[in-house]
């Protein structure tokens, strides 16, 4: 019996594990407010009264801390939360017209993913404006390290005479498609001239181009293709749903290089109509305007196969990509989020994750060509004779 006890003790000691406290700190909880509508004191109080503590923590802003300091500290301690009482390293504001709130939310999620991945303390606010006076008022408000402004080309005049003392980044506009030249305003818009140049380098004549009628951006891109050699142009009315009149007598488009400078829904319609009228183009090309995973839902496999799309998306670090996906933001396709991260990284002088830099206040992007297959997207292999 004594021998059995000794053997048992020996085995227990041999396989026993030391009970030591882990040196790793407990993970912090971060509350991200994905609601783009502002929450004031009354809103925060209502969340507390309704015991909606997670919403209260997510929507708390530094300027309201004194009013709810006791409640906030108690909840931050219980939830092991990242606290606003810590020194904030960066304050960022996203400003946008009300109709662009969807894109403001995309920028918010992408920037949050980036800053969380780097474990930085930050505060991001998101506010809409109605007119230039509203925008001026918002720019005059609390101090911030960076302002991100989301506007369309039709609103580029808003950038004139802005009262700004901190960097302003506009991810939606390409600088050279505006008349703005301010040392404090930076641009991250898609480099359509470079994309047009790349597509022309891999294309053959003759060419036919479909573009959106009465669209400033579509017209500008069309001009890039129509500079050196004549291109047969088709102006598509955005309100027209039946494009039969464009193709009934267009059998002559057989063998053409067709360029789709139209929004995705219109491009899908054009491709289906060309198939219906048995038009067989030699090549199908597009700028980034049609680079969207919805392409696979809106088009037939035969229609999209062989489509070559020029894009400015570059390398995205895998950890950042995964972090953004947790926010339902796919940086491989979502331009606003992708460009906003690059602009913020450069303007706040953060350690580099992206290779892109500013040149003359415009982000300089590399251009690459994607080849659309029936059910996938691949890199297009550029031939030596097609270098751009």
* pLDDT tens by residue, 45-79: 888 888 888 888 888 877 787 788 778 778 876 77
Strands 207-212 and 146-149: unpaired
What domains lie within the chain, and their CATH numbers?
193-311+367-386 (3.40.50.2300)
Dmax (CA) for the chain in angstroms is 103
Measured distance CA(200)–CA(223) in Å, rounded: 13
> What 3-state class would DSSP assign to 188?
coil
pTM: 0.79
| Residue 249 confidence (pLDDT) | 65
> Which portions of the chain are predicted below pLDDT 70?
1-28, 36, 77, 81-88, 142, 249-251, 383-388
Quote the Cα angle for 120-117-330, to 5°.
135
What is residue 318's three-state secondary structure? helix
> How many Å apart are CA 4 and CA 226, to the nearest integer?
93
User: Can you give the pLDDT at residue 74?
Assistant: 80
CB 121 within 8 A of CB 88: yes
DSSP summary character for residue 81: B
**Inter-residue contact 238 to 265 (CB < 8 Å):** no
* pLDDT single digits (tens) 20-48: 444 444 466 777 777 767 788 889 888 88
| Contacts of 381 by beta carbon, 8 Å cutoff, 6+ apart | none
The pLDDT value given to residue 13:
47
Question: Distance from first CA to last CA of the chain, Å, rounded?
Answer: 86
Nearest to 91 by CA among 141, 43, 37, 158: 141
The predicted structure's pLDDT at residue 283: 96
């Amino acid at each position: 019996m004594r021998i059995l006890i000794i053997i048992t003790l020996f085995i227990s000691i041999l396989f026993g594990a030391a009970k030591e406290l882990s040196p790793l700190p407990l993970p912090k909880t971060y509350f991200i407010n994905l609601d783009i509508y502002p929450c004031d004191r009354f809103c925060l109080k209502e969340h507390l009264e309704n015991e909606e503590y997670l919403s209260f923590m997510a929507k708390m802003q530094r300027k309201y801390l004194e009013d709810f300091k006791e409640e906030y500290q108690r909840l931050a301690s219980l939830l092991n939360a990242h606290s606003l009482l810590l020194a904030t390293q960066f304050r960022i504001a996203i400003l946008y017209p009300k109709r662009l709130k969807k894109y403001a939310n995309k920028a918010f999620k992408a920037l949050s993913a980036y800053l969380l991945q780097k474990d930085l303390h930050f505060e991001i606010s998101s506010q809409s404006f109605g007119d230039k006076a509203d925008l001026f008022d918002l720019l005059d408000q609390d101090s911030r390290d960076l302002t991100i402004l989301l506007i369309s080309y039709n609103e580029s005049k808003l950038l004139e005479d802005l009262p700004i003392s901190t960097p302003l980044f506009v991810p939606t506009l390409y600088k050279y498609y505006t008349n703005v030249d301010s040392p404090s305003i930076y641009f991250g818009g898609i480099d359509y001239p470079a994309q047009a140049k790349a597509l022309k380098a891999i294309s053959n004549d003759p060419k036919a181009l479909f573009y959106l009628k009465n669209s400033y951006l579509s017209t500008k891109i069309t001009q890039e293709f129509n500079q050196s050699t004549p291109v047969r142009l088709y102006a598509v009315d955005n309100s027209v749903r039946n494009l039969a009149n464009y193709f009934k007598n267009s059998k002559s488009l057989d063998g053409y290089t067709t360029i789709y400078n139209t929004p995705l829904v219109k491009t899908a319609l054009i491709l289906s109509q060309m198939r219906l009228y048995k038009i067989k183009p030699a090549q199908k090309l597009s700028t980034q305007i049609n680079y969207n995973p919805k392409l696979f839902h809106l088009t037939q496999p035969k229609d999209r196969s062989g489509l070559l799309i020029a894009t400015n998306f570059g390398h995205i670090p895998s950890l950042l990509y995964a972090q953004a996906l947790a926010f339902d933001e796919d940086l491989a396709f979502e331009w606003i989020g992708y460009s906003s991260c690059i602009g913020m990284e450069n303007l706040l002088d953060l350690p580099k994750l992206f290779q892109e830099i500013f040149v003359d206040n415009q982000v300089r992007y590399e251009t690459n060509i994607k080849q659309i297959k029936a059910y996938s997207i691949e890199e297009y292999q550029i031939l030596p004779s097609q270098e751009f």
